[in-house]
């Protein structure tokens, strides 16, 4: 049974028609396995064109796999990862990253927008050379953040510069990276290559793919071992062409920008609707495809019966409303009608 349109997650959405077409095309005949096929090679070339660099690209099953492989590639088990205390791979990927990498994860206090700042990061760059302390090796940020806010290009460059100064690698968890690029109106090259990202977990599923993510490696120092670690992490898909074909569709003619821009625009519309109700307070700037707001607790049950969503923070009843590539203005207006009945 199909679930009604919801604001719970962009993971709830179906598959883009263009992606489904690409999957059907990839299903014709036989092709070499484990990424040695023509589709995968074409798609890797598209990645290099989009990012304007000789990046290595590894196609994996899911976001947890992408983050685990990224951390494995940039660390050793006696080292540590510095991330925001709101980070998805710290809060919502169980113990997979720590179990499979052996690293210590140090959650640092994010600011009110869910971002890490160089000042906060620098305070944890301590005890260098102390064998009793898990040595920091990687700084990780989420773009767009767990609060749907977006790091500016300068903010990313400042964190990258700090990582370089202290001999650390810089990772971006980009499960909604396309939404961030669309929000900033920039290219993928400007958002990653030019800001000094070393390794990127690039999301596809939330953007409208059926399954699959990509690990994009910019730093040559990380390229030697990752192919072996991909196999070790059980993220090497024998029929890689079915992930690659989806990314080919996303990158071709910047389909990702069209769909991400739409999801962002509908989220802004939803935020404006919520601002019309005095009982509701939009709690975070709407910069990508997420809306955070505090609403009366009594509204949760009747609204969720109409359109599912998540209570993000029980204190204050802060809720998260996600928009996807297929969320429509009509969906927002239907939600508005449900709000009006309660108000």
* 8 A C-beta contact, residue 310 and residue 320: yes
pLDDT at 4: 59
Report whether the peptide linkage leading into residue 144 is cis, meaning its omega lies within 30 degrees of zero.
yes
pLDDT at 2: 46
Q: Are residues 99 and 29 in the same domain?
A: yes
pLDDT at 107: 96
Question: Could you tell me if residue 52 is inside a domain?
Answer: yes
Which CATH number goes with the domain that contains 293? 3.90.1150.10
Beta bridge partners of 201: 173, 215
Last residue of a domain, one of 219, 238, 253: 253
- Give pLDDT tens digits for 33-45: 999 999 999 999 9
* 8 A C-beta contact, residue 25 and residue 252: no
Structure tokens given for 323: 């928009």
Give the global pTM: 0.96
The helix (run of H) or strand (run of E) holding residue 80 is strand 79-84
Which CATH number goes with the domain that contains 144? 3.40.640.10
Q: Are residues 197 and 88 in the same domain?
A: yes
Secondary structure of residue 193 in the 3-state scheme: helix
The strand pair at 213-217 and 199-203 is best described as antiparallel
- Give the Å distances, CA to CA, from 19 to 99, 216, 241: 33, 20, 13
Contacts of 255 (CB under 8 A, 6+ apart): 16, 18, 249
Q: Are residues 329 and 232 in the same domain?
A: no
Q: Are residues 241 and 261 in the same domain?
A: no
Low-confidence ranges of the chain (pLDDT < 50): 1-3
Q: Are residues 225 and 86 in the same domain?
A: yes
Secondary structure of residue 329 in the 3-state scheme: helix
Contacts of 300 (CB under 8 A, 6+ apart): 311, 317, 319
Last residue of a domain, one of 253, 274, 302: 253
Question: Could you tell me if residue 107 is inside a domain?
Answer: yes
Q: Are residues 48 and 197 in the same domain?
A: yes
Secondary structure of residue 129 in the 3-state scheme: coil
Number of separate domains in the chain = 2
Last residue of a domain, one of 209, 226, 253: 253
Question: Could you tell me if residue 287 is inside a domain?
Answer: yes
What is the rounded distance in angstroms from the CA atom of residue 243 to the CA atom of residue 57? 12
Question: Could you tell me if residue 5 is inside a domain?
Answer: no
Q: Are residues 192 and 311 in the same domain?
A: no
pLDDT at 317: 97
Q: Are residues 147 and 230 in the same domain?
A: yes
Domain span at residue 261 reads 255-342
Question: Could you tell me if residue 292 is inside a domain?
Answer: yes
Number of Cβ within a 10 Å radius of residue 276: 11
pLDDT at 1: 42
């Amino acid at each position: 049974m199909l679930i009604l349109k919801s604001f719970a997650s962009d993971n709830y959405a179906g598959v883009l028609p263009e992606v489904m077409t690409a999957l059907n095309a990839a299903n014709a005949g036989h092709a070499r396995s484990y990424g040695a096929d023509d589709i995968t090679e074409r798609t890797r070339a598209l990645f290099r064109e989009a990012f304007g660099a000789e990046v290595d690209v590894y196609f994996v099953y899911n976001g947890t796999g992408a983050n685990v492989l990224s951390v494995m590639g940039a660390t050793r088990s006696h080292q540590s990862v510095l991330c925001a205390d709101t980070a998805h791979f710290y809060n919502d990927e169980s113990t997979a990253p720590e179990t499979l990498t052996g690293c210590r994860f140090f959650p640092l206090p994010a600011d009110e927008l869910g971002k890490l700042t160089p000042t906060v990061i620098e305070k944890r760059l301590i005890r260098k050379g102390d064998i009793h302390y898990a040595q920091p090796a990687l700084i990780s940020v989420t773009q767009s953040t767990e609060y749907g806010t977006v790091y500016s290009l300068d903010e990313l460059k400042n964190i990258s510069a700090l990582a370089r100064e202290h001999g650390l690698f810089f990772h971006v968890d980009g499960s909604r990276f396309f939404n961030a690029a669309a929000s900033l109106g920039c290219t993928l090259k400007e958002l990653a290559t030019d800001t000094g990202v070393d390794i990127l977990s690039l999301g596809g599923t939330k953007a409208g793919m059926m399954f699959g993510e990509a690990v994009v490696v910019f730093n040559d120092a990380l390229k030697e071992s990752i192919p072996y670690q991909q196999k070790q992490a059980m993220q090497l898909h024998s029929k890689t062409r079915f992930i690659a074909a989806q990314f080919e569709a996303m990158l071709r003619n910047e389909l990702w920008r069209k769909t991400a821009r739409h999801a962002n625009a509908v989220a802004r519309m939803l935020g404006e609707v919520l601002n019309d109700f005095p009982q509701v307070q939009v709690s975070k700037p709407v910069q990508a495809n997420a809306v955070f707001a505090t609403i009366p607790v009594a509204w949760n049950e009747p609204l969720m019966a109409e359109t599912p969503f998540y209570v993000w923070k029980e204190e204050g009843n802060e809720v998260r409303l996600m928009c996807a590539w297929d969320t429509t203005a009509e969906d927002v207006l239907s939600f508005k009608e449900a709000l009006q009945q309660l108000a």
